[in-house]
Amino acid sequence: MTDNTAFPKEVSLPSQAERSSRAQAVQQRERGMYRLSTLGEMTGGIVHDFRNLLAIIESGLRLAESKADHPESVRDYIAAAREGVNRGVELTSQLLTFANYKKLDLRARDLNELINSFKPILKYGTGTKVRIRLVLGSDVPNCGLDPSLFAAALLNLVLNARDSMPCGGEISVLTERFVQTDIAISEPPPGTYACLRVKDQGCGMDPDLLQKVLDPFFTTKGENGTGMGLAQVHATIQLVGGYLRIASERGSGTTVDLLFPSI
């Protein structure tokens, strides 16, 4: 009598090394997908920043043409346009830094010096209807910043403030030392910070709108907006371990605080 009972074949289980290799491959694919998704969002933000800079360059060149009979003014306008070109070159390095896994240029820097170096861009970028008022504190601590990322963030805040005042007005850019001592507040935690404040006299926002302004691609400007301005600012401040606060009231304007941990 023949026994036709089928015995199961011996199953070869993967070794520990094989399991580890497979897990690493899965993790690598997940990291790649996440990085690709983040790169897409970052690209949208940089396109938004480039559009801001191109508008400033165009404004500087247009003003230079209109003042052809005043060489001193022409030189100032061309200098502002050239500064816009330089900022554009720095923006391209952000994509290369991210794509090539390079570190950002984070070093202890003077917040006031960075803002002063950016004054021509702020002046010509906001137009003739808007005044820029700088109030820079004398005891602001140094903080870790990447110059190109900071410049893009400041420009976004100032241009958002400008757009909220179609009839013109004043934008205040202030710096100060901020010390958090209240342990009951989670953000920011206790410590010393360099605070950058951008305050406008615009239309302001109601609470429902205020909750959405940091969402990528959310915009109140219709086809004229990308929804990446404040999202880019938020990403920048998180990258350096800082905090963003927004206060706004309909009809009274908006105030944005960026808090950078002191070094």
- 68-109 pLDDT, tens digit each: 777 777 777 777 777 666 666 666 655 555 554 456 678 899
User: Rounded to the nearest 10 degrees, what angle do helices 229-239 and 147-163 cross at?
Assistant: 150
Percent of the chain beyond pLDDT 90? 26
194 within 8 A of 142, measured Cβ to Cβ? yes
**Whole-angstrom distance, CA of residue 88 vs CA of residue 188:** 32
- What pLDDT sits at residue 196? 97
Closest CA to 92 of 127, 49, 141: 49
Does a cis peptide bond (omega within 30 degrees of 0) precede residue 261? no
According to DSSP H, which parts of 138-228 are helical? 147-163, 207-210
Identify the DSSP state of 135. Answer: E
Distance of CA 151 to the CA centre of its chain: 8
Please give the pLDDT value at position 193: 96
Higher pLDDT, residue 155 or 224: 155
CB 236 within 8 A of CB 114: no
Encoded amino acid at 244, one letter: L
